[in-house]
Structure 1
Amino acid sequence: MEATKKIAKDIQKKLIIFTHIPKTAGTSVRHILMQQYGENAVFMFYDDPTVTTKNADELLNELRGYFRYLPAINNQKFNSWVKLRVISGHKPFGIHSLLPVNNFHYITLLREPIERVISFYYHIFGRTEHSLDYLISCKQSIQFDNLQVRMLSGVGWKVPYGNCSSKMLEQAKYNLIHYYTFGIQDRFAESLEIFSKYLGLSQVQIVAENVGVNKPKSSCIDQETLHLIAQQNLLDIELYQFAKHLFKERQIQCRSVD
């Protein structure tokens, strides 16, 4: 119990890096963080998540554009000069290595992989003439290919479509254990409880943001398409099962933080 309390207090002193996996209720979490820390304390990357991850200089320049009083040099203590509490965006694990930050902690939300792919399709492609199975078959978007493993392992979009590996899966599991406080999208209230305890949030107001409309559940999708999604996301499915078990363990630990 005491060890868990110490971990929570330690996390609350660190810069929070939010790995926002698309279509996992991450926009709602980001708004909660803005409510808690203030809008000026949350930096959000706005670029397209399908492009190559920016290098260190580009990231720092973007930060400087947001915090105009950020010093021109890369000082290890830059975080004490600005009121930056959270960095958020569709960026894979590893941003900490590109920034002059020593004390950091990652958070994220995961989602059942098949539901996430369906949600992404209707959010981006739902008004097009192309079917979901067609877009997956022609490898239209990297978001159809084990995106959660890609982001949590840190490889992001550097690995070509269809080339995700078991090594990437194991790295994602390792990072989830050692670097992340995380939640599960379909257990959102319980996830916020964990975030609140470990991040020191208070009086959290749940805000539904960027919610898909007119999106069918997986039970309404034909079996052939569901099978195609599953085959394309086997590593994500295994990661999600692993995360659900780990989430239960974290819930037990969370109850000891009072």
Structure 2
Amino acid sequence: MTEEKRLLIYLHIPKTGGTTLKNIIKRQYHPKEVWFHMEKDMIPKMEKRGNVDQLKCVGGHCWYGLHEYFEKQFQYFTMLRNPIDRVISEYYYILRRPNHNAYPQIKNMTLMEFIQNFSLKSSNQQTRRISGSIHNPNLDHAKTNLKNDFVVAGLSEMFDDSIFLMKKAFNWQDISYSKENVTQKRPAIDEISKDIINELKKRNAMDIELYAFAKELLTEKLESLDSVSKQELELLKTSKYS
């Protein structure tokens, strides 16, 4: 599949390093070739914008199945995150932002109340989006989609490795970055009560399994790199911390 014919679809799962990744992506393409507003009203907005044929990469807080709106061949990529940490981060992220559309509903909620009342955000959200079934997440479908249609399914906890694989897969150039949109003033996982952690584990059993599956796929891709690419990756990682 040539660079000109394929459409890259970035499935942005909230609180997985997406703002940082989008800034990297934007540097790789002309502004007319990228569209990052793929949400509920995405298609009318995109059609109003025009120049659909010029698009090389689209994305947003979307779900698997977005490719059905386009005639081009497609390839997905995404970033996942430890499911327990992701939900905690999303709760505190919303709580610190009065302009967020969910803020009025959760501003007086505890973390446990958020988990129990916002299932679309707090339970198996990664499986929901990757399986393409928001209200009835299907783990088997999510695994199949990851394996067959996602060129790279990165992990926030392995961000450098993940963007390096994207660089190789999509012929990106400059992948330098600084972290953006980081949730401030939130407790670490080991500071959260065991009752809340257990509730999160129960409600995110599919995401936990999907995350482990994604990590296996990512590890396989990293191990299959040729020796030159492995050296390039190590140089990238050491240069960031030297």
TM-score by length of 2: 0.83
Check if 1:191 corresponds to 2:199.
no
Q: Any conservation in 1 of the 2:27–2:174 contact (CA below 8 Å)?
A: no
Measure how far apart 1:140 and its partner are: 2.6
Secondary structure of 1:23's partner?
Answer: coil
Task: Give 2:193's aligned residue.
Answer: 222
> Equivalents in 2 of 1:172, 1:152: separation in Å?
5
Aligned equivalent of 2:46, options 53, 63, 73: 63
Indicate how the Cα distance of structure 1 residues 113 and 242 shifts in structure 2: closer, same or farther if over 3 A, else same.
same
> Equivalents in 2 of 1:124, 1:150: separation in Å?
20
Indicate how the Cα distance of structure 1 residues 136 and 150 shifts in structure 2: closer, same or farther if over 3 A, else same.
same
Check if 1:115 corresponds to 2:115.
no
C-alpha RMSD of the superposition: 2.0
Measure how far apart 1:257 and its partner are: 8.3
Measure how far apart 1:11 and its partner are: 6.3
TM-score by length of 1: 0.79
Check if 1:96 corresponds to 2:67.
yes
Indicate how the Cα distance of structure 1 residues 174 and 257 shifts in structure 2: closer, same or farther if over 3 A, else same.
farther
Give structure 1 stretches of 5+ with no counterpart. Answer: 1-9, 48-52, 71-77
Measure how far apart 1:62 and its partner are: 1.5
1:26-59 Cα shifts (integer Å, max 9, x gaps): 1111111101113332101165xxxxx45xxx61
Secondary structure of 1:87's partner?
Answer: strand
Task: Give 1:174's aligned residue.
Answer: 144
> Equivalents in 2 of 1:238, 1:135: separation in Å?
22
Secondary structure of 1:254's partner?
Answer: coil
Give structure 2 stretches of 5+ with no counterpart. Answer: 98-106, 230-242
> Equivalents in 2 of 1:203, 1:126: separation in Å?
32
Secondary structure of 1:37's partner?
Answer: coil
Task: Give 1:75's aligned residue.
Answer: none
Aligned equivalent of 1:15, options 7, 23, 31: 7
Secondary structure of 2:47's partner?
Answer: helix
Counting aligned pairs with the same residue, the percent is: 32
Amino acid at match of 2:204: N
Task: Give matches, 1:1-258, under 5 Å.
Answer: 10=1, 12-13=3-4, 14-45=6-37, 47=39, 53-54=40-41, 59=43, 61-67=44-50, 70=51, 79=53, 82=54, 84-99=55-70, 101-126=71-96, 128-137=107-116, 139-156=117-134, 159=135, 164=137, 168-180=138-150, 181-255=152-226
> Equivalents in 2 of 1:190, 1:131: separation in Å?
35
Amino acid at match of 2:130: L
> Equivalents in 1 of 2:77, 2:121: separation in Å?
20
